[in-house]
Amino acid sequence: MKFILIDKVLELTPGRSLTAVKSVSLAEEYLADHFPIFPVLPGVLLLEGLVESASWLVRQHSHFAQSMVLLENARNVRYKSFASPGMQIRYEVTAKAIEENAGSFSGRGVCGDEEIVAAQFTLRCFNLSDENPKMAHVDGQIVEALKQRWQLLKPDEAS
């Protein structure tokens, strides 16, 4: 199962910040189990929404140079409330630094005027072909798919 945790990029300041939104829908599979009587977006997916938002900031900044942008560590993660079906989460991420193979960020998720999650985190960036040159074609396929998804998230932004 693959989760896509942002629906649209609202604002982008290249290399500095990104604001995205996620509308929580009762149709999302994981809500059936988390929790059946009181469905809420799992906290780890709130954090992943911040990571996904920052990943797009990295990709756009680096012109999609790496196929992989992954969470390396998260610090000071604070969950303050729940996100349930019908709510819209606004993810705001700010880059502290974006380098060739890593980036550090602060981010928060807000529903209405209420902050529901906040974190400091680091992302690691690489290509699969860095370890195995035979994987270069896979890197290319992944990057092409990501560029297509970027056009859906931010149609007015060229990759």
Domains and CATH numbers, the chain: 8-150 (3.10.129.10)
Q: Is the pTM of this model over 0.85?
A: yes
Planar angle of CA 99, 12, 73, nearest 5 degrees: 40
Give tens-digit pLDDT for 3-32: 889 999 999 999 999 999 999 998 888 887
Give the integer Cα–Cα distance in Å for 121 and 98. 12
Give tens-digit pLDDT for 105-146: 999 999 999 999 999 999 999 999 999 999 999 999 999 999
Quickly count: other Cβ atoms within 10 Å of residue 159's Cβ: 14
Give the integer Cα–Cα distance in Å for 139 and 105. 24
Residues 6+ apart with CB under 8 A from 111: 81, 83, 87, 88, 89, 90
Active site residues: 34
Structure tokens at 124: 């690691």
Amino acid 1: pLDDT: 47
Q: Where are the alpha helices (DSSP H) in 26-75?
A: 43-61
